[in-house]
Amino acid sequence: MGDISKNFNRSEFECKCEDCGLDTVDAELLVALQDIRDKFGPLEIKSGHRCEDHNKAIGGKPSSYHLHGRAADFQPLKADIIEVANYIESLDWQHGLGVYDSFIHLDTRSYKARWRG
């Protein structure tokens, strides 16, 4: 049982610096992640909200949507990344979707963007 959705806890989205306490997650992003979780099973949130210092330390872009709690990098634990990415596309996701070898980046930017990492 999650504390912010059926399966997600706020702590999963907390900045990994373990110092700042930032843990915001955009509501639309959370709804999409829960939908993906319902269809494919558990997801591991690799990166959620980031403070500026942590974002800089890991080489994140200065304009990263992670800085505002509007992005999440996640790994499906029981499904293929490409299968999950194709499902997101089938939902007509009008925001950011990046597909990497070991995770998917999803964000709620105001325009459609796609990339492979």
CATH of the domain at 41: 3.30.1380.10
In-domain check, residue 56: yes
Instruction: Determine, yes or no, domain membership for 55.
Output: yes
- Predicted confidence (pLDDT) at residue 36 exceeds the cutoff of 90: yes
* pLDDT, average across residues 9-24: 96
Q: Which two tokens stand for residue 97?
A: 């979707």
Least confident of 16-20, 30-34, 74-78, 97-101: 16-20
List of E strands, the chain: 43-47, 71-76, 96-99, 104-107, 113-116
| Domain membership flag for residue 1 | no
| Residue 18 clears pLDDT 90, i.e. is over it | no
Tell me whether residue 38 is in a domain: yes
Which tokens go with 64? 């990263």
What pLDDT does residue 80 have?
98
Q: How many domains does the chain have?
A: 1
Residue with tokens 């949130």: 45
**75, part of any domain:** yes
Give the domain extent around 26. 10-116
Query: What does pLDDT average to over the chain?
Result: 97
Is 5 within a domain? no
Residue 4 lies in a domain: no
- Residue 1 pLDDT: 86
